[in-house]
Amino acid sequence: MSPLVAPSILAADFANLQKEVEMLNVSEADYIHVDIMDGVFVPNISFGIPVTEAIYRHAKKPLDVHLMIVNPDNYLESFRNAGADIISVHYEACTHLHRTLQAIRNLGAKTGVAINPHTPVEFLTDVIQDIDLVCMMSVNPGFGGQKFIENTYSKISRLKHLILAKGAKTKIEIDGGVTVKNASQLLSAGADVFVAGSFVFNSTDPLAMIRELKGITLV
C-alpha cells in the first residue's frame, strides 16, 4: 500500500504561493500540509488565516492544517472557514482535548492530534477512537529543515499497536525530517502519511520528490 504524501507549504516560495499550490495540484500529493505557528506555542511565526484562505482558493487537494498555537479552540471555526479539511491541534496545547476533538468534528472537519517528540503515544489511549489522524512530530515543532529524531520509529510501532488494539481507524502522519532515506523504514514501522517540507521544496524538481515518496515500499 503506497503512503499518503502531504508536502508542507511552509517550505514553499511564499512570494509565488499560487504557483506552488498549482504545482501541488498536478503532483501526486494527497494533502497540502499547512503549518500555523503563533510564536507562543513554538518559537517561530509562520502565517495565519488569510494566507490559509489564499492557499485554499487555488488548492485542489485537501488542506491538512497543523495548528502549532496555544488556545486552538478559539480559532477552529476560522480555520475551518478558511478551508481546512483536517485540523490538528497539539496535545500539549489542549487542557480538554476530548472537548476540542468534538468541536472539530462538529465543524465537519477531520480530527487531528499532533504530539511533540517527548509526549508518549500512550497519552492518546482514551481518545484514539475520536482521532482521524495523529501527527507525530519527528522534530521539535517550529522550523522546517531539522534533523529527524530516531526514537520516532518505536513511537510509531507503539501507536500502531494501540490503534489496532482499540479497533480505531486513525492514520499515523510523520512530520519533520522525512526524506526518501527514512521513508521506507517509517512505512514499515506503521506510518500512513508523510509530511515533507524541505525534501520537496528545496529540490529543483519537487514533482519528482513527491513521486519518489509516493513510490516508497516496505523494507
Catalytic residues: 35, 175
Asked if 91 and 121 touch (Cβ cutoff 8 Å), the reply is no
Q: For ligand DX5, which stretch binds (CB under 6 A), given 20-28, 91-99, 118-126, 134-142?
A: 134-142
Q: Is 38 in the site for Zn ion (CB under 5 A)?
A: no
| Among residues 130, 175, 192, 212, the one that binds Zn ion under rule CB under 5 A | 175
Vertex 162, ends 158 and 163: CA angle to 5°? 120
Binding to ligand DX5 in span 9-28, by CB under 6 A: 10-11
- The listed partner (Zn ion, ligand DX5, none) that binds 199, CB under 5 to 8 Å by sort, is ligand DX5
Give the ranges where the chain is alpha helix by DSSP (H).
17-25, 49-58, 76-81, 97-106, 152-166, 180-189, 198-201, 206-214
Give the three cell numbers for residue 9: 507549504
Q: How far is the CB of 77 from ligand DX5 (least distance, A)?
A: 22
Residue closer to Zn ion, measured from CB, 59 or 125 = 59
Angle, helices 180-189/152-166, rounded to nearest 10 degrees: 30
| Among residues 66, 80, 90, 171, the one that binds Zn ion under rule CB under 5 A | 66
Which residues of the shown chain bind Zn ion in the complex (CB under 5 A)?
A: 35, 66, 175
Which residues of the shown chain bind ligand DX5 in the complex (CB under 6 A)?
A: 8, 10-11, 33, 35, 66, 139, 141-146, 175-178, 195-199
